[in-house]
Amino acid sequence: MSKYLISLLILGALLLMSTSLLAAQPENPGPKMIKLMMGKKALDFTHLKHQQLTKNQCWECHDKKAGKIANWGEATAHKLCIPCHDLNEKGPINCKGCHPKK
């Protein structure tokens, strides 16, 4: 193999590694933890962990851009959270997981 070809292969490998590293970091990572209000109850939400689990695909939860989720409430949580938890077999999926008895 020529030195030129080897140099191109190394350069290409470095380029691929750098773009994958850049893609792994969201532009605005947001807070590590968020208090999500469910009526009068505040739920601890591990925002950073969820970003990592979804590989920074923010649109999985956010409508158009990062920030507050439009119309956040119990119905939105049921629509967004439960199917994802069920699919990944992680997190609460039954009522008592988020709505413990008082």
Q: Inform me whether the pLDDT recorded for 55 exceeds 60.
A: yes
The full set of domains in the chain, from first to last, is: 29-98 (3.90.10.10)
pLDDT tens digits, one per residue of 8-45: 677 777 776 655 545 556 666 778 999 888 778 888 89
Q: What is the mean pLDDT of residues 60-77?
A: 81
- Mean of the per-residue pLDDT values for the chain? 80
Predicted pLDDT at 83: 92
Q: Inform me whether the pLDDT recorded for 91 exceeds 80.
A: yes
Sequential DSSP letters for the chain: --HHHHHHHHHHHHHHHHHHHHHTS-SS---S-EEEEETTEEEEE-HHHHHHHTTT-GGGT-SSSSSSPTT-SHHHHHHHHHHHHHHHT-S--SHHHHS---
Question: The tokens of 76 are what?
Answer: 């939105």
